[in-house]
Amino acid sequence: MPKNFLLESFEKHKELGLACFRDGETKEAKYHFLKAGQYLMELAAQSDSPLREVRIKQAHKMIDLAKNLQAKRKAIREKVAAQKAGQGGRDDDDVPDEWQVAEKPSIRFGDIAGLEDVKEQIRVKMIYPFTHVEKAKKYRIRTGGGILLYGPPGTGKTMIAKAVAGELDATFFAIAPSEILNKWVGESEKNIRKLFDAARKCERAIVFIDEVEALTPPRRDGETGGVMQRVVPQILNELDGFDRKEGHHLLFMGATNEPWNIDSAMLRPGRLDEKIYVGLPDAKARGQILRMNLKDVPLENIDLDAMAGRLDGYSGADIAYLCRKVSEERFLESVEKGDEKEISKADFERVLVKLKPSVARVDLDRFAKFRTQG
């Protein structure tokens, strides 16, 4: 199976497993964790050393987690019961379980097609200071800090954040705004503090929040009492309090499709001080995405570079979906007719009649304006 398919399948089942576990659906969670481990083992078989060993180790962790879910849930229930009995409620210093299950991603920059300029910017900001410590000291380069990844949907922002953690062998805390926000007064701020406290306990950690604009919308003059009027200052306090001591590094990454809807205080130097645009793939990257998604798939003599030229304006997610859809249609036809024909250029043309770019020209223009004017 193509590496990209295996990686996507692993991530999908891992996330579904976590969601089921949080909802108390242990049986479903076990299924998804086992599937995640299976896909990661298959991906490891196609990977080069030492990445192969890292992925095998993670796959075993996922399988062990699936086997011990009942015991883990029982331990959590007993811990919560003890806290309620002994302290009259939940311990404010307790870390939410979904953050404790944070993993070290197995994905690397080499798994992401194109975006070489983005990768280089991130290497300078987040990776080289760790891999070239003495030179970083000489030029007084500080480790840690924040990066905002912004751009159209489907361009790989989340994958990039995971790859940074993979390159640094850092613990990855991927948090959705819904996991932080709470309708009860004061709880959202506590959740943010718990998140950053949990990350600080790791030697290297990355806190990643997708759709970060949902947590940090622009504050308006005269507004008081709203949850956002408390959440934004709490996040700013945490960013200002980054611990940059040697041997202990915390990085913050946010991703958004709407950078213009983020509070301006979040974008100041020292906070999300590096804003990196993750745009649509160029022709070379589109060709790489096609090859990654069609690896080992039976193809007729199709010029993938020419096909990539046809896909100007399509996002990486669009192209991955195109490959998946073409393969599914050819698979269905092979089942119904009993043949095993190779995928042809005509198969692509048939799907492309209906599949149009998901990113509108007006949105690209708005991103271009933000890049120049902020």
Q: What is the spatial distance between Cα 169 and Cα 103, in angstroms, rounded to a whole number?
A: 10
pLDDT of residue 100: 46
Is there a single domain that holds both residue 4 and residue 55? Answer: yes
Residue 42 maps to a domain: yes
- What local confidence, expressed as pLDDT, does residue 341 receive? 84
Based on the domain organization, do 65 and 212 belong to the same domain?
A: no
Is 369 among the domain residues?
no
Tell whether 22 and 132 lie within a shared domain. Answer: no
Q: In the predicted model, is pLDDT for residue 114 greater than 70? A: yes
Question: ∠330-16-77 over CA atoms, to 5°?
Answer: 160
- Whether residue 214 is found in the same domain as residue 252: yes
CA distance 142 to 146: 12
Identify whether residues 106 and 80 lie together within a single domain: no
Residues 110 and 128: their CA atoms lie apart, in Å, by 16
pLDDT at residue 255, rounded to an integer: 92
Q: Percent helix, strand, coil in the chain (nearest 5)?
A: 60, 10, 35
Domain boundary (235, 251, 280) is at: 280
* Distances 235 to 76, 143, 228 between C-alpha atoms, Å: 28, 19, 10
In a domain, 242, yes or no: yes
Per-residue pLDDT tens digits for 241-277 = 555 554 557 788 899 999 988 888 788 776 777 889 9
Return the closest-CA partner of residue 44 out of 10, 15, 16. 10
Q: Look at residue 373 and tell me if it is in a domain.
A: no
Q: Is the pLDDT of residue 19 over 80?
A: no
User: Could you tell me which of 113, 195, 128 has the C-alpha nearest to residue 159?
Assistant: 113
Residue 339 included in any domain: yes
pLDDT tens for each residue of 173-210: 887 776 666 555 567 777 788 878 888 788 788 888 88
Residues 158 and 235 in one domain: yes
| Domain termination site, one of 260, 280, 300 | 280
Name the residue range of residue 21's domain. Answer: 1-91
Q: Reply yes or no on whether the pLDDT at 160 is more than 80.
A: yes
Claim to verify: residue 51 and residue 123 sit in the same structural domain? no
Q: 117-145 pLDDT, tens per residue?
A: 999 988 888 788 878 888 888 888 776 66
Residue 212 belongs to domain with CATH number: 3.40.50.300
Regarding whether 130 and 152 lie in a shared domain, the answer is: yes
CATH of the domain at 55: 1.20.58.80
Residues 320-343 have pLDDT tens digits of: 999 999 998 888 888 887 777 889
Determine, yes or no, domain membership for 367.
no
Q: 26-61: per-residue pLDDT in tens? A: 777 787 888 888 888 888 888 776 677 778 888 888
**pLDDT tens-digit profile of 263-321?**
887 887 767 778 899 999 999 999 999 998 898 888 988 899 999 999 999 999 899 99
pLDDT band at 211 (very low <50, low <70, confident <90, very high): confident
347 and 305, same domain (yes or no):
yes
pLDDT at residue 212 in the model: 86
Number of domains in the chain: 3
Same domain, 293 and 227: no
Quick check: 31 and 19 in contact, CB under 8 A? no
Domain CATH code at residue 339: 1.10.8.60
Find out whether 342 and 298 touch, Cβ atoms under 8 Å.
yes
Same domain, 308 and 235: no
Q: How many residues does the chain have?
A: 374
pLDDT at 94 over 50: no
Same domain for 339 and 197: no
Residue 123 lies in a domain: yes
Domain closes at, from 280, 301, 319: 280
- What's the pLDDT at 220? 62
Task: Give a yes or no: residue 100 inside a domain.
Answer: yes
